[in-house]
Amino acid sequence: MTNMESSLLAEVAPDIVIVPVSPADTAAAQAHLDNLTKPQGSLGRLEELARRHYAMRGGETPLRVSPAMMFTVAGDHGVAAQGVSPFPQIVTRQMVANLLAGGAGVNVLCRAGGMDFRLVDAGCVGGPFPPHEKLLDHRLGDGTADMSQGPAMARETAAEGLRRGMALVAEQAAQGVRCFATGEMGIANTTAATAIYCALLDLDPDVMTGPGAGAGPERVRHKAAVIRRALSVNAALCRKEDPLGVLAAVGGFEIAVMAGIMLGAAAQRLPVLVDGFICSAAYAVAVRLCPALADYAVLSHASAELGHVPALETLEEGAPLLHLGMRLGEGTGAAVAYHLLRCAAAVFNEMATFDGAGVTGDTCG
């Protein structure tokens, strides 16, 4: 990392070290893949995932992505008071109850794919939830402030959210978790995510603003105007060279914690699956804090939310794994993509080599 990149992350967590992957490890992984009983490159992006995973782990084999943990992080947004969502803010709390009861989309998909699940309360309106075996209380407040009137949170609160996400990963990694995923829940969080993209990537709210939870055209126009107002009110903080300032000005508690989870996974040299539109906004903050995160993050799917693909193109990230027209959030896309990581690890670990199988390499052309 450059001195500037190191100082950005050091403001938040001076003891965290994220090491870029080694080109030598990447080359060694490719050599192994090329020696498996198949035409070179014929398993496409599964080979890419296996190669990246081997490099993340510094050449450790066998590749392991199980146990895996989905963190769905919930938080409320003061900007909901501006009518940017067709749903009232109480729906965040209602959906948290559904998530804890195991009835949400991400619960079903985690069960289907063999991924464990925890709901992280980063700051929902209404105070703490009753204790639950799947609930982790990391509240930063009772919802953020209204970003259209001033900063959503203090800079130190944003930094604390990042640290809490990193700590969550360190605790789970110490218990043997080998793959992480992020998801979210929070009414008005597409408004915050869009504002982050616009501030960090110099994108236009009119181009980036979509329906979120189902807003009609008139509400979408209103939502874009609210985002534009928030960027103007917080112009002194919304500088693209200061991702922590942007997060504090127009972000959300859940976005801060998710960004910390991503950085924490990278610090542990473990893969992290990034879900759709809102999770990718957290990724945009985190990767600007530490570009080496890109070596460890897997972009799960291209959300159907209007601005997701343009944002990823501006970030100059590779294509997401899946294009399924999904826009639910919660971590659903990451839960589906997890199966691809399992397949990639199985290919790397279990396929026979040409020599081992007694197959002549050029017969597989």
Looking at residue 70, its amino acid is M
Q: Across the chain, how many H-helices and E-strands are there?
A: 15, 6
* Poorest-pLDDT segment among 8-12, 276-280, 355-359: 355-359
Q: What are phi and psi of 121, to 5 degrees?
A: -85, 105
**Taking the C-alpha atoms of 31, 35, 39 and 45 in order, what is their torsion angle to the nearest 10 degrees?**
-50
Looking at residue 365, its amino acid is G
Q: Is residue 362 over pLDDT 70?
A: no
Q: Is residue 211 over pLDDT 50?
A: yes
3-state secondary structure of 123: strand
Architecture of domain 68-346 in this structure: 3-Layer(aba) Sandwich (3.40)
Q: Any catalytic annotation for residue 330?
A: yes
Whole-angstrom CA distances from 289 to 239, 240, 245 are 13, 11, 11
| Residue 9 to residue 147: CA distance in whole angstroms | 24
DSSP category for residue 297: E
Please state the three-class secondary structure of 55-80 as a single string. Answer: HHCCCCCCCCCCCEEEEEEEECCHHH
The single residue of 47, 160, 305, 330 carrying the catalytic annotation is 330
Taking only the tens place, the pLDDT of each residue in 212-235 is 778 888 999 999 999 999 999 999
Q: How many CB atoms lie within 10 A of CB 26?
A: 17
pLDDT for residue 355:
85
* Poorest-pLDDT segment among 44-48, 194-198, 205-209, 262-266: 205-209
Half-sphere exposure (CA, 13 Å, Cβ side) for 303? 30
Q: Which pTM was predicted?
A: 0.95
Domain extents in the chain = 68-346
Copy the structure tokens of residue 10.
């050091």
Taking only the tens place, the pLDDT of each residue in 321-350 is 999 999 999 999 999 999 999 999 999 999
Copy the structure tokens of residue 152.
């959503």
Confidence label for 5 from pLDDT (cuts 50, 70 and 90): very low
Whole-angstrom CA distances from 14 to 6, 7, 17, 143, 244 are 9, 8, 8, 27, 14
Q: What integer is the mean pLDDT of 98-116?
A: 98
Peptide bond into 14 cis (omega under 30): no
* Poorest-pLDDT segment among 19-23, 328-332, 358-362: 358-362
* Lookup result for tokens 């209602």: 94
Q: What integer is the mean pLDDT of 303-318?
A: 88
Taking only the tens place, the pLDDT of each residue in 47-68 is 999 999 999 999 999 999 999 9
Q: What integer is the mean pLDDT of 79-98?
A: 96
Instruction: List the alpha helices (DSSP H) in 183-331.
Output: 189-201, 205-208, 217-233, 243-250, 253-267, 277-289, 308-315
Q: Work out the end-to-end distance of the chain between its first and last CA atoms, rounded to an integer number of angstroms.
A: 41
Nearest Cα neighbor of 250 from 203, 298, 183, 306 is 203
18 close to 265: Cβ distance less than 8 angstroms: no
